[in-house]
Chains A and B, each alone.
Chain A
């Protein structure tokens, strides 16, 4: 609360006082009152005026100062009411009450939305589990009745599966509650599972799956890492170049403080301009426009999940040459001590 602005706001009081004072003065003069009386009552006037003006200022000043300061200082300014003591003056009480009511109604609103969102997420998860049953049946059928289902059907089923998984992990990675369990995981097992899952597509596209020395343990959630790796490998398959020796190379770089998983392909690569945005939600870029199979969600979810797990994910690429994705796992010294 600035004093200048406050005075300006109370200028009318000055006018009223001056007006009353002048009339009073005129009355005193008309009745030829003693000069000493005029002086002393003028002084009294001045004191009264200042008191009337300043007492409310100091009374309100602290409350408003706290209010404004705390709003600035809090990262959730809607919690400001909790930080204030209830003011003594009437105006402040009204404001306090109003803020309280507004807060309450907003909280109810937010809760309703949260509820709604939770219901929706639960429904989505349930739906995914439901849809996986006929999907499983179809996968089994395509295997049992090879004469009715050819390889193409199988690949389409795999795509369907991948999209369903994407929704599931999106719902999970956005969830506040923890759905992952970080423990020591062997990278070779994760790489094997992802390879097996995508084997048909990799072979169908005549891509070589080259795995170097990957027998390292990292701290992660194996299911989540499998999904993340799956997204990256899916991209490698989707954006392969029309050349003879397409490959996906997986290797590990072990350093003192961290372990880095490197997935490299010699696909069409990513334009430099697009490189910064590949992890953005719904970003499809130049490559996505060509294939129209791109949702722009895969890498976004992957990055989100990496952040939750505490891994770093980076990408580098040269158009028409290569794409390399790095997933960096920090080593936990504390964990080593516990072992």
Chain B
């Protein structure tokens, strides 16, 4: 589980962010001692930091600058002040991304996922090949293969299957799938999503995995 440190002074937001991250298989850590922020970070070494820019006793930009002197921990800046200068500055200080409040939780999760993937791909070169049970899934070529039997997936099916696979054995809401699709510039509607899912099911069935994507009524889908 990836450790994500939340640096945020509003308690209610902290609580909810904590819950959101927990629900999505992350291990959130809330920083409470703003005065020794840098020492705490370096001691805990989280996989990613969500850093609010405007915190009492703490200048987010300064903290980021100091952090970058010793560490490459990915940082996503979060702020309610969406002025251009802040954004340009944060990126130049070494933030990996920048999000303004109020953020859409699904988009926030996508950004976190993207930053983590980007930073991890440095160690893990073989990101293109995922496996599901005995199934080989090649994202770049868009194919699923079992033994010698290979089927090509469409772009939408690739996006959906990748997402389900990354959240195996967890309920994935239609909302999450929609957000992921739209984030990949595939602007499908509700019907198209249903159609895509049933096509993906059929293709999985063809390679010998029947009923692996289950519908949980009113909640979403689950890949078992």
Residues of A within 8 A of B (CB): 128-130, 132-141, 143-144, 161, 168, 179-181, 188, 192, 195-197, 199-200, 203, 206, 208-211, 221, 223
Contacts and interface: CB of A to CB of B under 8 A. Distances in A.
B185 interface: yes
Interface in B158-215: 175, 178-179, 182-183, 185, 187, 189-190
B84 A223 contact: yes
Main SS at interface, chain B: helix
B109 to A, nearest CB: 10
B107 interface: yes
A192 to B, nearest CB: 6
B182 A136 contact: no
Interface size class of B (residues with CB under 8 A): 20 to 34
B16 interface: yes
Main SS at interface, chain A: helix
Contacts of A135: 101-102
Interface string B92-118: 000000000111111100000000000
B189 A197 contact: no
Contact of A192 (B19, B54, B87, B185): B185
Given A179-B83, A192-B183, A203-B190, A136 B103 contact: yes
B178 A203 contact: yes
Nearest to A142: B105
Nearest to A227: B82
Given A140-B17, A221-B84, A132 B187 contact: no
Contacts of A179: 83-84
Given A135-B101, A223-B84, A140 B13 contact: yes
Given A192-B183, A192-B185, A196-B107, A136 B101 contact: yes
Nearest to A139: B102
Contact of B88 (A134, A181, A199): A181
Given A132-B101, A135-B102, 17 more contacts: A129-B80, A132-B80, A133-B10, A134-B12, A137-B12, A137-B16, A139-B102, A140-B13, A140-B20, A143-B106, A144-B16, A179-B83, A196-B182, A206-B190, A210-B187, A223-B84, A223-B87
